[in-house]
């Protein structure tokens, strides 16, 4: 029986770091009121990183990918599958994954994007795991990369303070012993309107409104419920219980959602990986960024059991349980 296992992790944050205080000052200059206190109390976010205008998702992705390859001891030429989870690709097409392949200087392997907004990394990891287990791939690069700063409405204080840019990556390789133990993906298209960018390109123009819209409280309410359900279902599939989880790595959107999920899973708060304070919500990049930060800080060690959970626009959600 073939399994898949994460053999390396990497990440990249653009250098420009914007604190809440700096953000509040910028918004105040345009007559929009917010504060460090409001942002910290409601979300747990202290700062986020923004990419420069000439930096695209594939640029961040390739830097994260190189780190993941180095940590796995794998050459780019050995990779036979590249999946990029992103909702902010460089172009309408080709995919960010094809651009990453080009920037890595390799060609020939399958490369495509997955679009599941903030659940994107969990979706991409599940697809890569399935392709490895069925023999379609042996060494995959799975990346989450976003430049959400491009789709933020900086006149809307209810959304613009929440998001940031960045990328995280893993190398997922075929293995005789299980790494990924179980996973599950869901979507409920009845809720397309609560988190969306309702614009599109037509006749050479961006039509509709190409900026992010979110009904925060509606997303919050749905997120708390589905994150507990999907974690329990994945644990059951793997024949495990809450007590088997060493680290919970939820999508980093809001510390209150993350703490609520940990509490429902009866996990102490020190088993929760938190990077939302420094990264903000980086959508599909948030889970691999958090994973890499925790691996590099020495928190997560080989053999630990990790629960990864995504939730976001679509409405989409999912979870992956794995032995690291």
Q: Applying CB under 6 A, which residues contact ligand UT7?
A: 34, 38, 42-43, 118, 157-158, 161, 216-217, 219-220, 223, 253-254, 257, 281, 311-312
In the complex, least distance from residue 222 CB atom to ligand UT7, rounded to whole angstroms: 9
Helical axes 36-43 vs 20-28, angle rounded to 10°:
130
Question: Between residues 77 and 158, which has the closer beta carbon with respect to ligand UT7?
Answer: 158
In the complex, least distance from residue 14 CB atom to ligand UT7, rounded to whole angstroms: 19
* Tokens of residue 155, six digits: 């006149």
Does the active-site annotation cover 251? yes
Report how far residue 25's alpha carbon sits from residue 31's, in angstroms, rounded to the nearest whole number: 10
102-108 long-range contacts, CB within 8 A, separation 24+: 103/58, 103/59, 103/62, 104/62, 104/65, 104/66, 104/76, 104/79, 105/76, 106/76, 106/77, 106/79
Catalytic residue among 12, 98, 109, 251: 251
In the complex, least distance from residue 218 CB atom to ligand UT7, rounded to whole angstroms: 8
What is the radius of gyration, based on Cα positions, of the chain? 18
Question: Between residues 38 and 154, which has the closer beta carbon with respect to ligand UT7?
Answer: 38
Catalytic residue among 118, 160, 254, 279: 118
Residues across the chain = 324
Question: Between residues 43 and 149, which has the closer beta carbon with respect to ligand UT7?
Answer: 43
Q: 69: burial class by Cβ within 10 Å (0-12, 13-18, 19+)? A: buried
Question: Between residues 118 and 320, which has the closer beta carbon with respect to ligand UT7?
Answer: 118
Question: Between residues 157 and 296, which has the closer beta carbon with respect to ligand UT7?
Answer: 157
Does the active-site annotation cover 160? no
In the complex, least distance from residue 13 CB atom to ligand UT7, rounded to whole angstroms: 17
In the complex, least distance from residue 161 CB atom to ligand UT7, rounded to whole angstroms: 5
Do the Cβ atoms of 82 and 140 come closer than 8 Å? yes
Please identify the residue of the shown chain whose CB is closest to the bound ligand UT7: 216
**Measured CA angle at 113 (ends 108, 114), to 5 deg:** 140
Other CB atoms closer than 10 Å to residue 193's CB: what's the count? Answer: 13
- Provide the annotated active-site residues: 118, 251, 281
């Amino acid at each position: 029986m073939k399994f898949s296992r994460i053999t390396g992790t990497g990440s990249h944050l653009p250098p420009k770091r914007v604190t809440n205080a700096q953000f509040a000052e910028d918004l105040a200059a345009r007559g929009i009121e917010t504060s460090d206190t409001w942002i910290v109390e409601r979300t747990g976010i202290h700062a986020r990183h923004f990419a420069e205008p000439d930096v695209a998702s594939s640029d961040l992705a390739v830097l994260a990918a190189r780190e993941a390859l180095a940590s796995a001891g794998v050459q780019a030429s050995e990779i036979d599958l590249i999946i990029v989870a992103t909702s902010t690709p460089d172009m309408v097409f080709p995919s960010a994954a094809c651009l990453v392949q080009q920037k890595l200087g390799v060609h020939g392997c399958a490369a495509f994007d997955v679009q599941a907004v903030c659940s994107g990394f969990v979706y991409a990891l599940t697809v890569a795991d399935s392709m490895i287990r069925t023999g379609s791939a042996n060494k995959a690069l799975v990346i989450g990369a976003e430049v959400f700063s491009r789709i933020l409405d900086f006149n809307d204080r209810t959304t613009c303070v929440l998001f940031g840019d960045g990328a995280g990556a893993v190398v997922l390789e075929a293995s005789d012993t299980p790494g990924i133990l179980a996973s599950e993906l869901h979507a409920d298209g009845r809720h397309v309107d609560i988190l969306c960018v309702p614009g599109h390109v037509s006749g050479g123009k961006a039509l509709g409104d190409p900026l992010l819209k979110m009904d925060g409280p509606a997303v919050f309410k749905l997120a708390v419920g589905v994150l507990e359900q999907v974690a329990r279902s994945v644990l059951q599939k793997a024949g495990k219980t809450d007590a088997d989880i060493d680290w919970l790595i939820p999508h980093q959107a809001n510390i209150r959602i993350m703490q609520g999920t940990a509490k429902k899973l009866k996990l102490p708060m020190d088993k929760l990986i938190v990077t939302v304070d420094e990264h903000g919500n980086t959508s599909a990049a948030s889970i691999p960024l958090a994973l890499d930060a925790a691996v590099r800080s020495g928190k997560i060690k080989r053999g630990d059991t990790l629960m990864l959970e995504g939730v976001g626009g679509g409405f989409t959600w999912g979870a992956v349980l794995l032995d690291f």
